[in-house]
Amino acid sequence: MALHHAVLAALLDEELSGYQLAKAFDLGVANFWHALPQQLYAELTRLENDGLITGREVVQDARPNKRLFTVTDAGLAELERFTASAAKPSSIRDDLVVKVQAADHVDTATLVDRLTERAAFARAKAELFGKLLRTMRGDRTEEDFLRHGERVGPYLTCLRGLAFEQGNRDWCERTIAVLREREAARAGH
């Protein structure tokens, strides 16, 4: 997947400015694709030049004008093509996993500190996803929302983000417990 597919998907439901797109990435899209604001602005320019999105200028009083972007028919066709193509299996590329790989040769306390930080981050992110999910479905049950909700795609990707962060939290907590048990056993000998 390229950034342009993530941007096209983010623009499907409404017109967004570059600033709003960056916020949307922070809140929802970031659970499956990370991009810096400058990358997003550059991608918007490329997509518009390629005819996959169109922009219109909005004049604002007392503030700079802004451009709002929406997906064109060609952009929707590109998303259709992308959706029909085989998905590549994902893989883990995480510096913390590399650090844990070296656990038998590095300071365990420092490693536990890094794992504790990541677990706290994952816990906070999972809470954020939980709040987003509750906001999206309103007073409906999850089952009802999944059957009858208008925008199920963002909800399903948010569920994936929640599961991902819960998995990160659980792995960090288990790894911490294992490292501490091994350290205690070594100290007991």
Report pLDDT for 29.
Answer: 65
Spatial distance between the Cα atoms of 19 and 44, rounded to a whole number of angstroms: 11
- Give pLDDT tens digits along the chain (189 positions): 588 898 898 888 889 998 888 887 766 666 667 778 888 899 999 999 999 999 999 988 888 889 999 999 999 999 999 999 988 888 888 899 999 999 999 999 999 999 999 999 999 999 999 998 999 999 999 999 999 998 898 899 889 989 999 999 999 999 999 999 999 998 887
Report pLDDT for 24.
Answer: 79
Report pLDDT for 1.
Answer: 57
Distances (CA, A) of 126 to 53, 83, 93: 32, 27, 20
Evaluate whether 99 touches 114 at the Cβ level (below 8 Å): yes
Cα-Cα-Cα-Cα dihedral sign, residues 7, 13, 18, 20: negative
